[in-house]
Each structure stands twice: as structure tokens, then as C-alpha cells.
Structure 1
Amino acid sequence: MTNTEEAATASTGHSVLVVPVPELEAYVLERTRHYDDSFVSTDPAFVHAHITLLAPFLASPTSEDLRLVEKIATAATSFDFVLEDVRLFSGGTIYLHPEPAEPFAALTAELSAAFPQCPPYAGLFEPVPHLTVDHIAGGVSLESARTSLAAVLPARCRADRISLQWYANHGCRVIEEWPLGGTSEV
């Protein structure tokens, strides 16, 4: 069974298209363990730190769907970005805003146009490029998050691929990846 078939047959969970951010993996992995260890992946290719492009994505992408994502990734170019600006969404999610944000927004717009049946965040929220780092809960505040992030920020990062990941309790894994520009080593 291929990873795509495994994802399609899972009874719970969903797929997402993301840009992995390995530069902040240690921090995000620690916060993931803190909140829900069942989302810690055993897949060595899986990067917990990411900027979401399109979620939820298709539960059972076809080979044609995967080729379309590959075409979009290949047409894009890899790019550098910085994560330093710690912000708060109204619902209590603490996140890092990428600079520049435009390349992420452009990829989201292109993927949304290619897959209109998959509106970003199921159409509930306007997509804002971000990397989630924490939540206002259990003594965590925006200021305490800024303090804990001070050791790793600013993070100078490179967007070099789109990763199709499956998110499920005890089942987070990479389904497939495509290099941006078709030239990155993945």
C-alpha cells in the first residue's frame, strides 16, 4: 500500500499542503509534545514546524491531483524568509508571521484555484501565512511565548518544498513532497 492509499484509508485525520520549516522544528516539536503527544510523528521525513498552504486538502488525492501540485511546486521558486514577528490570532493562537508573506499567499491562492473544492480552512477563516507556535492557555501568554522564542528568533529560513502531510492521532506522516522549482534536494 502506498502512503497515499494509507492516508486515504485512515478513518480519522486529514491531509494538508504545507511548507516545512525545519529551522524551528525543535521548538514546535516540544510544544506539540506539551499539548498532545499523539500528534508527534514517528515519520523521519515529517516536519512539525510548517506554514500551511492549504488545509484541509483532499482525503484521497488522485495521481492527477498529485501531478497538479507538482506542477505548481515546480513553477514556483524556492525563497528565503524570516520568522521574527510574534503575533496573536483572536482565538488565542500564537504564531510567527513570515517576512515576506507574499510568496506563501501566492502559493495558497494558486493551490486554492487549482482545488476549489478545498477552500483554505474549509472557508472558515481568511488564510494568513503563519507558523503556529503556541496557544493562550495554561499560563501561556503572548509575552511568555515571546520570551521562550527569544532564543530561536529571528529564524532565517528557506522555503524549498511543498509537503503533503497526513494529520491524525498517532498517524502524522508525509505522503509526498515536491521541491519548489524542481531542483531542491528533499
Structure 2
Amino acid sequence: MSPGVAGHSVLQVPVPQLEPFVLARTRHYDADYASADPCFTHAHVTALGPFLDLDALTHAALSEVGAIAATTEPFDFTLATVDTFPNGIVHLLPESPAPFAALTERLWHAFPQCPPYAGAFADVVPHLTLDALSDEVTEESTRTLVDSFVPARCRAERLDLAWYEPGRCRVLHSWRLGS
């Protein structure tokens, strides 16, 4: 990472259907991460993150991601099941995680220096983050709040390279899925 830059990049599949909910939760926890970029989608399923530092986002790296996106056909998915990871992250699970897992595997194979979630988890579970457990937040309270948005029937049509940094969250690049 470049000196003085406190951010990171993520390759993510946007989920616009859940944007109102996730953006509201983002503003609730830390408004500095609420992006002003109209292309930025807070609601997403991570394909690979953290990804490369800014200085490593070369033309060759972007071309490699573009080639993977071009050979990944768009796919439909449904998010309906609310679950909680052992670390307290409340999330939605796709009914069929296989297309997300395959995309993550291809990206990780191309960029082995970028293991999913920096290698913190033995099993990589495709998901959309909703909230975090606290004295005020439970899985049940989150399920109640997100109820009007689920089941979310979605279509993965693009892969975004997003930058996360307080006050500077934005899309750096975006690729359409498929040829």
C-alpha cells in the first residue's frame, strides 16, 4: 500500500436490490464509508478482497481481471437466508453459492498473493454483509429489518474494483460479465 493511504481494494459483485438497506447500515456505523460515487454499490458479494494495493493495479493486472470477467457468464442468484458467522457478522447467503465460489477461485488463482479475506478464514463463504451483532443487534432483529428486501432475486452482471477508504470510497474500474 502506498505510504499514508489507509485503504484497500476489493473485487465485488454489486447487489443493487439490497443497496438501500446496506447503505443505511453503513451510514449508521460510519458515514465516512458512505460513498458519494454514484457507481459505488455498498451492497455486494465479495469476489476477492482485500485485492491489490493502488500501486499494484497495473494495466496487466486490470487486463487479467477483465479477461476473467469476460469469461464469466452473468448468473442469477437469490439471497434469502439470514445467518451469522462466528465473528458476529450477520449476512445473507446465496441459495446457490457455486457461481460466486468459482469466480473467487479463478481470481485467487490469477492473484495468489491475494488470498480471500487475507487468509483469515479456512472456508470462504459467499455472502452479503448486513450487520454485526451487538447489544442492540441480533440475527432476529436484522432478519426483521431486512424482511422487506428478501428474498432478493438478483443477477450478477458486473464485477467492480472498489476502493475502501474513509471519505474516499469509490469504484476504480468495472467490467461486464460475459463476452
| TM-score interval for Structure 1 and Structure 2 normalised by the shorter chain | over 0.9
Aligned residues: 176
**How far apart in 2 are the matches of 1:122 and 1:141?**
27
The 5 A counterparts of 1:3-42 are 11-42=5-36
Match of 2:147 in 1: 150
User: Which residue number in structure 2 is paired with residue 131 of structure 1?
Assistant: 128
1:85-130 per-position Cα deviation (integer Å, ceiling 9, x unaligned): 0000001000000121100000000000000010111111131100
Q: Distance in 1 between matches of 2:156 and 2:30?
A: 27
Fraction of identical pairs, as percent: 52
Aligned residue among 151, 158, 162 for 2:159? 162
Q: How many Å separate the matches in 2 of 1:158 and 1:82?
A: 8
Pair 1:65-2:61 in alignment:
yes
* 2:39 maps to which of 37, 45, 53: 45
Specify the SS of the correspondent of 1:42.
Answer: coil
Structure 1 CA distance, aligned partners of 2:135 and 2:161?
31
Q: Deviations over 1:29-59 (max 9, x none)?
A: 0000111111000101000000001111001
User: Separation in 2 of the partners of 1:99 and 1:88?
Assistant: 15
Matched with 1:3 is: none
CA distance in 2, matches of 1:8, 1:165: 16
Structure-2 residue corresponding to 1:140: 137
Alignment partners' CA distance in 2, 1:81 and 1:162: 15
Change (3 A) 1:153 1:11: same
Superposed CA RMSD in Å reads: 1.3
> Deviation at 1:62?
0.6
Letter in 2 for 1:82: T
Q: How does 1:80-159 map to 2 (within 5 A)?
A: 80-125=76-121, 126-159=123-156
Residue 10 to residue 161, structure 1, CA distance change in 2 (3 Å): farther
Q: Secondary structure at the match of 1:117?
A: coil
Paired position in structure 2 for 1:175? 172
Cα distance in 2 for partners of 1:25, 1:9 equals: 32
> TM (normalized to structure 2)?
0.95
User: In the aligned structure 1, how far is the partner of 2:8 from the partner of 2:100?
Assistant: 21
Q: CA deviation at 1:8?
A: 6.1
Structure 2 unaligned segments of length 5 or more: list them.
none
Q: 1:29 to 1:10 in 2, by over 3 A?
A: farther
Paired with 1:18 and 1:29, the residues of 2 have a C-alpha distance of: 16
